[in-house]
């Protein structure tokens, strides 16, 4: 496939959505055609599943049911949005993908890691990102940011701080053991963190962004 697939990951409230918006502006300024997706969601089926998985606190979810709902949303997203975007040469920026499933449904909910991997494979047809960028932040700081925003907690966020700690540690473990995962500290001023992310993408995907013209010059070189 012509396009590149980059995914921002990390625990709740580490800044993924904010940094994806900034990355999108950066790519726009450089004339790089791109598509932004979020999980769960991004298709009519996926958004309906998102409502159920995050908002239906009145329902009982087994870990297996939670896994399969999230993967049903991903299957639709990959088939209907991500693969077509990559095929037309877009850079795809994802707000979460399979690494979230390993962190939350395996490390968090206790499902067997190999079985979760197999289920992911079925949902994605084996599609893997070129790079995962894991934003890492101490749990107290992400909780504080949420408090400052007056954030309503969704069903999974309501699991509490111990669960969040498990998820943070899961990402640190996965960053060590999974291919194509880079860890970036999300501590410090927004602009500084964004610069870290842009520097990482420029270094790791040097010359990889595909322009509509087929010109593959490095984005970062033109920005600086």
Contact between residue 196 and residue 185 where contact means Cβ atoms under 8 Å apart: yes
H or E segment and range at residue 54? helix 44-55
Report in angstroms how near the CB of residue 151 gets to ligand Z5A at its nearest: 7
For ligand Z5A, which is the closer residue by CB, 18 or 33? Answer: 18
CB hemisphere CA count around 30 (13 angstroms): 25
Residues in region 77-116 near ligand Z5A by CB under 6 A:
96, 100-101, 104-105
Interaction of residue 157 with ligand Z5A, rule CB under 6 A: yes
Locate tokens 């095929």: which residue? 87
Which helix (H) or strand (E) segment holds residue 199: the answer is helix 190-204
Q: Applying CB under 6 A, which of residues 47, 154, 178, 218 lies at the interface with ligand Z5A?
A: 154
Binding-site member from 149, 162, 176, 215 for ligand Z5A (CB under 6 A): 149
Distance from CA of residue 208 to its chain's centroid?
20
Which residue, 105 or 124, is less far from ligand Z5A as judged by CB? 105
Q: Please state the closest distance from residue 88 (CB atom) to ligand Z5A, in A.
A: 24
Q: Using CB under 6 A, which of 5, 37, 39, 175 touches ligand Z5A?
A: 39
Distance CA 70, CA 48 (A): 11
CA distances from 211 to 30, 34, 91, 171 (A): 9, 9, 9, 32
Confirm if 134 and 182 have CB atoms less than 8 A apart. yes
Rule CB under 6 A: say whether 33 interacts with ligand Z5A: no
Q: Does 143 contact ligand Z5A by CB under 6 A? A: no
The 47-66 site mask, x for binding ligand Z5A (CB under 6 A), equals -------x------------
Query: From CA 25, how far away is CA 159, in angstroms rounded?
Result: 34
Q: Which is nearer to ligand Z5A, 104 or 132 (CB)?
A: 104
Give which of 76, 83, 80, 124 is closest to 100, Cα–Cα. 124
Q: Does 185 bind ligand Z5A (CB under 6 A)?
A: no
Report the half-sphere exposure of 47 (CA within 13 A, side-chain side): 4
The single residue among 68, 72, 156, 172 that binds ligand Z5A, judged by CB under 6 A, is 156
Residue in 7, 23, 36, 70 binding ligand Z5A, rule: CB under 6 A: 70
**Which residues contact ligand Z5A by CB under 6 A?**
12-18, 38-40, 54, 70, 96, 100-101, 104-105, 145, 149, 154, 156-157, 189-190, 193
């Amino acid at each position: 496939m012509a396009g590149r697939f980059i995914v921002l990951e990390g625990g709740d409230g580490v800044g993924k959505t904010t940094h994806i918006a900034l990355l999108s502006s950066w790519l726009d300024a450089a004339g790089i055609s791109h598509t932004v997706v979020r999980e769960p969601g991004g298709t009519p089926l996926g958004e309906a599943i998102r409502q159920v998985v995050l908002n239906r606190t009145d329902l009982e979810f087994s870990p297996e049911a939670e896994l399969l709902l999230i993967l049903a949303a991903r299957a639709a997203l990959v088939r209907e949005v991500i693969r077509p975007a990559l095929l037309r040469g877009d850079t795809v920026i994802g707000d979460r993908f399979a690494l979230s499933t390993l962190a939350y449904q395996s490390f968090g909910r206790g499902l067997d890691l190999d079985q979760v991997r197999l289920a992911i494979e079925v949902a994605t047809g084996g599609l893997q990102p070129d790079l995962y960028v894991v934003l890492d932040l101490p749990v107290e700081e992400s909780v504080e940011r949420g408090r400052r925003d007056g954030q309503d907690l969704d069903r999974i966020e309501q699991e509490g701080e111990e669960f969040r700690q498990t998820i943070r540690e899961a990402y640190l473990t996965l960053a060590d053991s999974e291919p194509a995962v880079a860890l970036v500290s999300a501590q410090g001023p927004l602009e500084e963190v964004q610069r870290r992310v842009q520097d990482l993408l420029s270094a790791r995907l040097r010359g990889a962004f595909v322009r509509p013209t087929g010109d593959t010059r490095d984005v970062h070189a033109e920005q600086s």
